Amino acid sequence: MKKILNTTLAALAAMTISFNASASAGSVHLDSANTDISDQGSLQNGAKLFMNYCSGCHSISFMRYNRIGKDLNISDADVEKNLMFNGEKIGDNVVSSLSDAGAVNWFGTTPPDLSLVSRSKGVDWIYTYLHGFYKDESRIFGVNNHVLENASMPDVLWKLKQERSTEEFDQDVRDITNFLDYVGEPAKLVRVDLGYKVLGFLFILFVLSYLLKKEYWKDVKYGKWRAKD
């Protein structure tokens, strides 16, 4: 039995090591995004920035405007005012109005749908990518990216970066990343919240059960198992 356990553990360790190796192979160092999905203010700001700076090119077609409003506590009127710009309806999916042909013409590729990007690349990747633009005159938009070599996306946040202090800009990028994390799994809002509540409940139950156990065992002094005491 012990042998089986040891072999299983060794196999698991080997899998973890090879998984880590493949994840880091050829990739650059990623900064920690430090996002917090329970931070509503951050998600609201992220949604606003995303709609202003990203949704012109990128869809998040798995989301609808009213779902975002409901989850992030933004009223429908405010969603229409601050998050919708192209005469969409509140129940519509968030789809960019950029045509595929136009995109290929301008960028040489279509900007990918970002609904699940936080799941496929991870939040640290997105956070570092958005920080990773550097000047490179050989590229059409004059910028290249440390994280995604020869990316055909322009540095869309350059103006924001100039207007804001370093901390403010980092927070803005963190908020956009946080929003994309939420978009990747909207149920995470409920799941994480519920997780804390369940753990809290189990803790209280543990205390009560322990007190009850003490109460029950208080009078058991001469049971068979204590005979030698």
Sequence-separated (6 or more) residues with CB below 8 Å from residue 29: 128
Residue 60 vs 74, nearer CB to ligand HEC: 60
C-alpha–C-alpha distance, residues 13 and 2, integer Å = 16
CB burial of 84-122 (b: ≥16 within 10 Å; e: otherwise) equals beeebeeeeebebebeeeebeeebeebbeebbebbeebb
Residue 6 vs 150, nearer CB to ligand HEC: 150
Tokens 């990343």 sit on residue: 177
Closest approach of Cβ 214 to ligand HEC, in Å? Answer: 55
Residue 170 vs 190, nearer CB to ligand HEC: 170
Yes or no: say if 111 and 98 are a contact pair by the CB < 8 Å rule: yes
Closest approach of Cβ 60 to ligand HEC, in Å? Answer: 10
**What residue is closest to ligand HEC based on CB?**
54
Region of 87 on the Ramachandran plot (φ > 0 left; ψ -120 to 50 alpha; else beta)? left
Residue 97 vs 209, nearer CB to ligand HEC: 97
Closest approach of Cβ 41 to ligand HEC, in Å? Answer: 18
Sequence-separated (6 or more) residues with CB below 8 Å from residue 80: 65, 90
Yes or no: say if 37 and 181 are a contact pair by the CB < 8 Å rule: yes
Residue 57 vs 83, nearer CB to ligand HEC: 57
C-alpha–C-alpha distance, residues 153 and 143, integer Å = 9
Residues contributing to the site for ligand HEC (CB under 6 A): 53-54, 56-58, 107, 109, 111-112, 114, 117, 121, 126, 129-130, 151-154, 156-157, 176
Residue 16 vs 120, nearer CB to ligand HEC: 120
Closest approach of Cβ 198 to ligand HEC, in Å? Answer: 33
Closest approach of Cβ 171 to ligand HEC, in Å? Answer: 14
Closest approach of Cβ 23 to ligand HEC, in Å? Answer: 16
Closest approach of Cβ 38 to ligand HEC, in Å? Answer: 21
The pair of three-digit structure tokens given for residue 30, joined into one six-digit string: 């990623």
C-alpha–C-alpha distance, residues 67 and 54, integer Å = 19
Yes or no: say if 51 and 83 are a contact pair by the CB < 8 Å rule: yes
Residue 74 vs 147, nearer CB to ligand HEC: 147
